[in-house]
Amino acid sequence: MADIPENAPDHCPGTESDQAGKSTACQGCPNQNVCSTKPKGPDPDLGDITEKMSKVKHKLIILSGKGGVGKSTFTAHLAHGLSADDNKQIGVLDVDICGPSLPKIFGVEGEQVHQSGSGWSPVYVDDNLSLMSVGFLLSKADEAVIWRGPKKNGLIKQFLRDVDWGEIDYLLIDTPPGTSDEHLSVAQYLKESDVDGAIVITTPQEVALLDVRKEITFCKKVDLPIIGVVENMSSFVCPKCKVSTQIFPASTGGGQKMAEDMKVPFLGSLPLDPRIGKCCDEGKSFLTEVPDSPATQAYKEIMSKIVDYCVKRKESKEKDTGEMKNNI
C-alpha cells in the first residue's frame, strides 16, 4: 500500500511508518494488527514486479470515481479496439476483486487459470488478447469475495508479480470505483514500472463528476499521470433513426467542463447505444458487431488519442534518454 498523504482522513500514518498500527489514529482500525506486525521498509517484491512489468511497453490504468459509469465496458472495448491490430499483443488485468465482471464481458466466464514454471498463464480471449481476473479463481460465478484490505492487496501483488504476460504492447488495468486499497496498492506496486497514465471514466451528471474530481486529485497525489477523461453515456443514439437524445443532462457542464476546471485532457464523449449492453452480456465486441454505430466511431476516436499519447510519450522518453547519454 502506498504512503498516505499528509492530509489523509483520520490521520493514518501509512503502512511504512514506524507508527503504523501504534498511533492513536489506528485504534479500532481492522488492519491495526497487520500494520503493527508488518516489516517496515521497501517491499522486497517490488523488484520482481518491476522486472515483470519491464516486458510491457505501455501500462494504462482505468479509473472511475463512481460505480456504474461503464468503466469495465470501456476497458473491454478499448482492449478489443487495440487488439484489432494483429501485430499488437494486449493484456487486461481485472483488479476489481469484489466485482470481477470482465470474464463475462469478454465471453470467457468459467475458464480456468493454469500455472507453469514462469507463473500464472492468463486466459486468452483471442490470439493477441489475454485476461487475468479473480473471477477465474472462484468456484462459482455467484460466489462473493469477502476480503479485508490486506488479502486483496496480496492478490493484486500476486497478479502483478506472477502472471506470465510475455512481451506485450498494452496492459490495461481495470480497477474498482473509488480511491481505496486497490488503487493505493496498484500505485505503490507500479511506482517504479513507468506507468503511462490513467484514463478516468465519468458520466455527465454532477453526482458522478463529484467523485471523479476526487479520483483526479488522487492521481495527482500519488504522481500518476492522467491521460484524460472520457464521458460515457453522454447521449442516447437511437439504433434505427440515429437521433441523439440527452438521457443524463449535464447540469454543470459535463465531463468536458470538469476536465477544463481540473486542468486535465478531455478525450471525448461516448454515446449510449443499447446494443453495447447486449454485446457485453453475450461476450462479444460491440466494435465488430455494430461497426456503423456512432458509438463505435467515438470509441475509435478516443482510442486513437490514447495511442497517440503513448507513442509521443515513448518518443519523448527516448529523446531524453539519448540527450542524457550525449551529455555524459
Amino acid 11: pLDDT: 61
Confidence at residue 104, expressed as pLDDT on a 0 to 100 scale: 96
Mean pLDDT over residues 248-256, rounded? 83
17 or 315: which leads in pLDDT: 315
Q: Is the pLDDT of residue 310 over 90?
A: yes
d(CA 252, CA 124) in angstroms, rounded, equals 42
Which residues, listed in sequence order, are joined to residue 62 by a DSSP beta bridge?
Answer: 174, 199
Query: What is the predicted pLDDT for the residue at 8?
Result: 41
Q: Sorting pLDDT into bands at 50, 70 and 90, what band is 3? A: very low
Quick: pLDDT tens for 59-93.
999 999 888 999 999 999 999 999 999 999 999 99
Q: Where are the alpha helices (DSSP H) in 181-285?
A: 181-189, 206-221, 254-262, 274-282
pLDDT of res. 167: 94
Q: Classify residue 140 by burial, with Cβ atoms within 10 Å: 0-12, 13-18, 19+.
A: exposed
Q: Is 235 left (phi over 0), alpha (psi -120 to 50) or beta?
A: beta
Q: 177, 37 in Cβ contact below 8 A?
A: no
* 48-327 is a CATH 3.40.50.1000 domain: no
C-alpha cell belonging to residue 133: 481476473
pLDDT value at residue 227? 98
The DSSP bridge partners found for residue 92 are 131, 172
pLDDT of residue 252: 79
CA distances from 71 to 28, 193, 246, 309, 327 (A): 33, 23, 20, 20, 44
Answer whether residue 263 shows pLDDT above 70: yes
Helices 46-53 and 149-162 meet at what angle, rounded to 10? 40
**Residue 171 pLDDT exceeds 80:** yes
Query: Higher-confidence residue: 11 or 95?
Result: 95
Give yes or no for residue 161 having a pLDDT over 60: yes
Which of the residue ranges 4-8, 168-172, 179-183 has the most confident prediction, judged by mean pLDDT? 168-172
Name the average pLDDT for the chain: 88
Numbered ranges of CATH 3.40.50.300 in the chain = 48-327
* Whether residue 4 has pLDDT greater than 50: no
pLDDT at position 126 is: 96
State what percent of residues in the chain have pLDDT above 70.
91
Q: Tell me the average pLDDT across 213-242.
A: 91
Q: What is the pLDDT of residue 38?
A: 65
